[in-house]
Chains A and B, each alone.
Chain A
Amino acid sequence: MKKTIILTFAVFLAGLFLASCDKIEEGDYLKDNAPAPGPADTTGQKTLIRKVLILDFTGHKCGNCPKGHKVINALEGKYGEAVVPIAVHCTYYGNTNPNASPHSTDTSFNYDFRCEEGIFLGGGDADGGYMDLDAVPAGLINTFDPALINSSPNGWATDFAKYYSTYPEFSFNVNASFADSTITTDIKMTSEVVVSRKLSLVTYVIEDGIVGWQLDYESTPQEIGNYIHNHVLRTSFNGAFGEEVKTDNSQMSAGDMIEKNYTKKINPDWNIANCKVVAFVYDSDTKEVLQAEMVNISE
């Protein structure tokens, strides 16, 4: 008995030491090759890679949130259009209250990046919204499921890769145009495989290049007056959760298409040249986002 135990320990120890150390040498920190995307698009008409939605719950008074923006920038640098980010300004850290830290002055932190849908999802001054957020930065990668909130921006990249390397169930063809202070969008989603899910389609407007204040603990000084805010959620055409476009589990054959059209009057403060339309489809039951698309708006 005694011998057996000591032997077991010895084997266990040996195994532990052999398998326990992965030292990464300096210079090897960055990964050279990217995981392979889905099949190449031959027609040029539609997306056949699985684009990945990143819901970045953030706030201009959140000093750790720029870490999330940096990860999104790094992913965009490597994966380009496959990254579909949305900055959802919300929570206490999105407030413009001059008495809440950091204290706003006439010019600082007084611009409200939040919108109705963002506050519904991520919460306002005193609550965590639908996602029950207790802290920011917080990310949801290709899902609407609050249980999958990831508070580590570098972990978002891992979540991104997990989805990016799989075959898309849908492809999108999205057109958006602007006239008479109204955006009109036409969305065609085509199934690439047999699908028997319930489906919901969400269509948002986001705006890039808004110059404003941001707290950043990694910058000196920490209060930056000319920070560039990208992917800021402005509004939705069809509500924070979108519209259910397939309400039962009936089968959809490969090649079947669902088409939707929406219009929305925009706020005159927005710079339409920097606005984009984002569309994504998710499984109404599992909340997994199956495909996403982001397009410019033609004038």
Chain B
Amino acid sequence: MSPACRTAEPGPEILHEAARWFVLLSSGEASEADRRRWQAWRAENALHEAGWQRAQAACTLFSGIPAGQTRPAFDALERRPGVSRGRRRTLGGIAGLFVAAFAGWHGWRVSDRSADHVTAIGEQREIVLADGSRLQLDTDSAVDIAFSDKMRLVRLRRGRLMIATARQSRSDPPPFLVETAEGRIQALGTQFTVQQASGSSAVVVLESRVAIHVENGAGEAPILNAGQAARFNRRGLLERRPQTPADAAWHKGMLVADAMPLGEFIDELARYRRQPLHCAPAVRQLRISGTYPLADTERTLAALADTLPVRVEALRADDPSGGQIVVARK
């Protein structure tokens, strides 16, 4: 069996067992023998370990409270028990009205002729795969599809995609994998996005879980749960963090910025434009927040000058190619 096929999801019974171990180990009265039994249980089966990881992941939030802050944190949480779900982020909002319609362009790259599916700059497209799963391609992306009895493989050559796997009728469907230059991401559930950046791959899990099999990785493949994002290179994970609204907004045609450095914002916009877009170093660190439709980058650029101390200008306005646009300090 290939390493990609080893990982599966722990069922509710294993999760309950993991929860009982958690309760024992948190009690402050677990013995050395208890710990040895717990280690043995984890080592016994990859599903056990996955279940344990789930229990630990449920408590990672507490590590966000530094040691000296636990008392006021406890007091604050206890003063108002039973409050409702929902996270709010502090955001400076910038609002504007944008016309949103995606023009399908046909600027296919010559080098991508051999790829099975390619999107032009500014184009997004949804493809239904042979097993009923949905693949959404972001701007300027290329994929190959290779489905067989052994595996359902999507090779991401460039850009970004989102996969929503379809429920399969057969009880043991072949694993669903997305391959990048840095490794393979195995779907253990339904919905996730993958981006091929230069030298690394980024994954965001929207539903269920994925396993990341890095190219030169040894040992157990790390599991990423719903709501988590990670970046990895050929050797292993570089970063693991909670998902933010910005991570998956693109597949709904929006760009979400939450105090994002202007430089990153402009780089992201540039991925959706054929005309070059440049941000002057002096303003790259300015912060921008807001929700913007990706389809009309012109309007977004125009709105920048209203909210930030910047000017947006075309460098060679008479150039028939459209010229380069720069964002610079006012």
Q: Do A and B bind each other?
A: no
